[in-house]
C-alpha cells in the first residue's frame, strides 16, 4: 500500500509540475470556445478584458457612415466592435506560446489594433476566465486525475 501511495503522490507531483502546459494545451484545444467568448464580448459591449470601452466607445462620424455602407459589419455603430470586414474576428485563434495560451489573430491589422487599443482586446475578462476554468480546464484535469487513480489500488 505504501508503494501505491508513493506512486500516487509522484503522479500528482508530475501533474503539478506540468500544470501550466496542461492548462495551455487544454485552452488551445478548445480555442473556438475561448475565441467565441471574446468575439461575443467585442460585438455585444465593445469592451476589452479589463472591462474598458475600446477606443472610448465612440466611432467618428466618418467611420459610422463607412460602416453603414457595408453589410456584414453587425450593423453596430454604438460602440467599437473591431469588426469592419470581419478579418480580425475571423482570424482569431488560440496559440500556445511557452507555458501560456494566447489569443491572437492572423489578420494583418492585429499588431496595429493592439498598439492602438491595448493587449486587453484579445484577453479574457474575469467572468470569461471563470467559465474557461470551470467548464474547460477543471473537467480536463479531473479526467487526468481519474485516469491516474484508476491505475492505483489503495
Domain limits, the chain: 2-146
Res. 91 pLDDT band, cuts 50 70 90: very high
Q: What is this structure's pTM?
A: 0.81
Is residue 73 over pLDDT 60? no
How much is the pLDDT for 116? Answer: 95
Res. 56 pLDDT band, cuts 50 70 90: confident
Separation CA 144–CA 55 (nearest Å): 42
CA dist 2 → 5, 6, 76, 149 (Å) = 5, 6, 64, 15
Separation CA 81–CA 121 (nearest Å): 10
Q: Which residue has the cell 470556445?
A: 33
Amino acid at each position: 500500500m505504501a508503494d501505491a501511495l508513493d506512486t500516487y503522490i509522484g503522479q500528482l507531483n508530475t501533474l503539478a509540475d506540468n500544470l501550466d502546459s496542461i492548462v495551455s494545451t487544454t485552452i488551445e484545444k478548445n480555442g473556438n470556445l475561448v475565441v467565441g467568448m471574446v468575439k461575443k464580448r467585442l460585438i455585444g459591449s465593445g469592451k476589452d478584458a479589463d472591462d474598458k470601452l475600446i477606443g472610448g466607445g465612440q466611432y467618428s462620424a466618418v467611420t459610422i457612415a463607412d460602416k453603414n455602407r457595408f453589410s456584414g459589419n453587425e450593423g453596430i455603430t454604438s460602440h467599437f466592435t473591431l469588426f469592419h470586414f470581419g478579418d480580425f474576428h475571423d482570424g482569431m485563434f488560440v496559440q500556445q506560446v511557452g507555458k501560456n495560451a494566447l489569443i491572437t489573430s492572423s489578420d494583418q491589422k492585429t499588431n496595429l489594433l493592439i498598439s492602438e487599443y491595448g493587449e486587453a482586446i484579445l484577453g479574457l475578462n474575469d467572468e470569461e476566465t471563470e467559465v474557461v476554468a470551470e467548464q474547460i480546464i477543471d473537467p480536463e484535469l479531473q479526467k487526468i486525475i481519474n485516469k491516474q487513480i484508476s491505475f492505483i489500488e489503495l
